[in-house]
Structure 1
């Protein structure tokens, strides 16, 4: 598989530091599982972060430092880490679609009809009720609604391909768009396209019908 589109270095650095939101982190973990190039960048950022910590001068600790640290550990234990690793178990399925192993353990809803040639499934990540994660299944040749974003959008193509004003995206590619982007993905005519998507912020759909549908999308 040839991968031509990757997440930004900034997003990989945020992932390495555990600062990427849970939804985008899940999508990025799927990309990393199949992309040696991005795994190499991740190792570099992890190494740089470790070196920076080692080079930091020692600081005098407050009297209650141990109590504060233990309290933070207890709090962290109550919620999953922002970095999402693929569990070592069989890949989950949604009907006739085999899904990435990183989605094992997630609550995956059924395919819901949203319009001609467009179905979606809500993905819920344990402990992260605010994460906006969707599986989308779009028929060959179909256009997605034109839209922008209030934050970054991360879309991993699982199968098929689509094109927009930024190029053509095939299986294995990750499309990362920011708040400056307005686009309308169009699925190629050869086959349907299945994607995993997450956003930081909200989508800004264009057109009356699309805006009416947006509450159902949850984005």
Structure 2
């Protein structure tokens, strides 16, 4: 792996402040990257040290009962959601990461020659903008920028743009200052998991044509 989330993103992941969509994508990367997992442990240790220095507040007499009830309720709802929407599609082309267990995986939709996308729905956040992208070998994606950060984890194959090449396990983090046009390598198709904190802004005629399909 040559490309990783920024320290800011890893800190937000560790603190629980990263939005649910990007959190899924970053979680997939961290699950296979020992360097990023170690970095998150460092951030968690710092957070724990800061908490230990805070003067404790006295808890209410029913605090433990309310906590147990909340845990049981969350556990029941999470289990039901996982049974309802665990990814079972056989045409994805790869084994999906465990982080997607419990998520809904929509059908592949055509958005251009050699380019298909599938909506990923997160049970606890229906508004999260997460998708799988499958792009044929040698194909170019539309030139685009973003209204927020875009997080793209390569699951299979590879692509490149003016900033470098991204292979299996790499995470591309692109903010609203980056305008790029990814190109898939000729060696085979590329499958990625992507999440947007804002919206993708496509350029050119083809971009305007497919924009309604992906939102924005």
Q: Same fold (TM over 0.5)?
A: yes
Render the CA deviation track for 1:27-49: whole Å, top value 9, x for unaligned. 01100111000000011111111
**Corresponding residue of 2:22:** 24
**Corresponding residue of 2:189:** 192
Distance 2:40 2:175 in 1: 21
Distance 1:95 1:6 in 2: 24
Task: Report the aligned-residue RMSD.
Answer: 2.9
Q: Which sections of structure 2, spanning at least 5 residues, go unmatched? A: 79-85
1:1-219 correspondence to structure 2 within 5 Å: 3-58=1-56, 77=74, 93-219=90-216
Q: Which sections of structure 1, spanning at least 5 residues, go unmatched? A: 82-88
Deviation at 1:97, TM superposition (A): 2.6
Q: TM-score, normalised by structure 2?
A: 0.85
Distance 1:90 1:217 in 2: 21
Partner SS for 1:137: strand
Contact 1:91-1:99 at 8 Å conserved across structures: no
Render the CA deviation track for 1:91-113: whole Å, top value 9, x for unaligned. 87544332111111111011111
Contact 2:152-2:195 at 8 Å conserved across structures: yes
Deviation at 1:77, TM superposition (A): 4.7
Count of aligned pairs between the two proteins: 206
Hey, which of these two has a bigger chunk of helix by percent?
2
